[in-house]
Structure 1
Amino acid sequence: MSLRATARIVADADGGLPVLVSDGPLALRRTRAAGPYTRVTVVGAMSAPLGGDRLAIETEVRDGARLLVDSAAATLALPGRSAEPAAYDVRITVGAEGVLRWLPEQLVSVHGSDLRMRTVVELAPTARLVLREEQILGRHGEPPGTLITRLTVRRAGSPLLDQELAFGPGAPGGWDGGAVLAGHRATGQLLLVDPAFAEKPVEARLLGENAAVTPLAGPAALVTAVAPDALALRRLLDTALSGLAPVGPV
């Protein structure tokens, strides 16, 4: 039987969490954080998403709040009894002077799985954001399932980024070719949004052979990377974050 579950987080400027609602496999825990952030860790309470599941996390960072959301382990997209694809929706709003660090662990597309993941972010003009997504295509020694992800970010009601990625047997041809993954099995994105970038934009540049920094049409920067495995990918994105964060103190 397919699951339907929606977890909710609301963070206040005083560090409070007036709403912290777990649901189904999405267990939310307030955990200890260093610095000014309130921290919430997503703990997988059961295997999910499976074929046909409909999961969602809704997060509101109210005006002036600082929130860090991470996860205790990687998320595995798994095949299920249903032939329908699984869906995992992330819906985020960040208010004025709010700061969100969205840093989950990797999403692993297991052979035979079929997942559609959608992340939608609404930012106030003075909001700041660090958002990381990492996709691992198959467990060790296996081909991936079908994975389609879309990241849509709007700032002050205007589009900032709308990007769709598709991998695996259900994706258009060429996803594993030299112009996309070139045989790599780990890929990721790091998005930084900060009003400070309006005065000092990020310069487009390569980060070694497998990663690049791109300024966006707004106070934002996007890092994209490919790597042979999850560990190498995380190192690339961590290096990029450490180099970019001083420009916009998120």
Structure 2
Amino acid sequence: MSGVHATARIVARADGRGGTSLPVLESDGPLALRRTRASSGGEARVVLVGAMSGPLGGDRFAVETVVDSGARLRVGSAAATIALPGQTKDEARYDVRIDVADSGELHWLPEPLISARGSDLHVTTRADLAPGARLVLREEQVLGRVGEEPGRFTSRLVVRVGGRAVLDQELACGPGAPGGWDGPAVLGGNRAVGQLVLVRPEFGERPVSARILGEGAALMPLAGPAALVTAVAPDGLRLRRLLDEALDAVNWAD
């Protein structure tokens, strides 16, 4: 097995003065973490900057994030991640591990992941939250660059609250994926797909109501204090618009 192996780590901790410190901010290889200006509400902000192309075939990337009690963290990325074919036929893997403690809050808002022709990428995101934690997690996948067929892409998203799974879903698209991924029951010919996971303690007492949120997007409650928005669109720009509008709709209703 060849390829680049890299793991970046973030730890966010309440600083005792109403803000959030970052005692651990470890970059590794192509995964460069940069702290940006904190918000006025005491939220720390980190941007993931890709220092090289990839992931390529055979690469193994991972980002581990821990948010301690009382800390608030927002993580984004400087640009889209593009999965590219490598010199080997091995699949590339990108693993995201998130842990949020009671009264901790994380906004995980990376830019889209683009599956280029000939690539083979498996993404796994696992989020473990305490019962009093808060999370806004956005995932966006674009199948192929403009005018290009997609590569093989598999995504698994697992969210647990208090040790209980509230979401465990997997999506496989592109060459070699199970039949029907491009049919009306899944993407319906669209080339961008995304999801927004919202975890808030108040959802345990007042679950959101399932409803359609514009063409291509739907909101549904999950077991426990969580909700899920799923969306499909012809391109990444319209997908982002759908997810932003969905988040605004949930915040307004709340």
Q: Which bin holds the TM-score, normalised by the shorter protein?
A: over 0.9
Matches within 5 A, 1:73-222: 73-222=79-228
> Is contact 1:93-1:121 (8 Å) kept?
yes
Q: Residue type of the partner of 2:217?
A: A
- Helix, strand or coil: the match of 1:201? coil
- Helix, strand or coil: the match of 1:119? strand
Quote the Cα distance in structure 2 between the aligned partners of 1:32 and 1:123. 26
Match of 1:18 in 2: 23
> Is contact 1:197-1:247 (8 Å) kept?
no
What is the CA-CA distance between 1:246 and the residue it aligns to? Answer: 4.5
What is the CA-CA distance between 1:247 and the residue it aligns to? Answer: 5.3
Quote the Cα distance in structure 2 between the aligned partners of 1:223 and 1:162. 14
> Is contact 1:146-1:167 (8 Å) kept?
yes
Instruction: Using structure 2 for the length normalisation, give the TM-score.
Output: 0.96
**Offset from partner CA, 1:193-246 (integer Å, 9 cap, x none):** 001112221000011221100101111110000001111000000000011124
Quote the Cα distance in structure 2 between the aligned partners of 1:32 and 1:81. 39
* Corresponding residue to 1:238 among 236, 244, 254: 244
Match of 1:7 in 2: 8
Over the aligned positions, Cα root-mean-square deviation in angstroms equals 1.0
Instruction: Using structure 1 for the length normalisation, give the TM-score.
Output: 0.97
Quote the Cα distance in structure 2 between the aligned partners of 1:145 and 1:109. 5
Quote the Cα distance in structure 2 between the aligned partners of 1:154 and 1:16. 25
Match of 1:44 in 2: 50
Quote the Cα distance in structure 2 between the aligned partners of 1:29 and 1:192. 25
- Helix, strand or coil: the match of 1:234? helix
Q: How many residues align?
A: 248
Quote the Cα distance in structure 1 between the aligned partners of 2:34 and 2:57. 26
Quote the Cα distance in structure 2 between the aligned partners of 1:223 and 1:85. 28
* Corresponding residue to 2:32 among 27, 30, 45: 27
Quote the Cα distance in structure 2 between the aligned partners of 1:93 and 1:201. 23
Quote the Cα distance in structure 2 between the aligned partners of 1:32 and 1:233. 27
Quote the Cα distance in structure 1 between the aligned partners of 2:10 and 2:244. 25
- Helix, strand or coil: the match of 1:12? strand
> Sequence identity, in percent?
66
Please list every run of 5 or more consecutive structure 2 residues that lacks an aligned counterpart in the other structure.
Answer: none
Quote the Cα distance in structure 2 between the aligned partners of 1:131 and 1:79. 27
Structure 1 stretches of 4+ with a deviation exceeding 6 A read none
Quote the Cα distance in structure 1 between the aligned partners of 2:253 and 2:10. 28
> Is contact 1:200-1:247 (8 Å) kept?
no
Quote the Cα distance in structure 1 between the aligned partners of 2:10 and 2:72. 12
Q: Residue type of the partner of 1:54?
A: R
Quote the Cα distance in structure 1 between the aligned partners of 2:38 and 2:233. 29
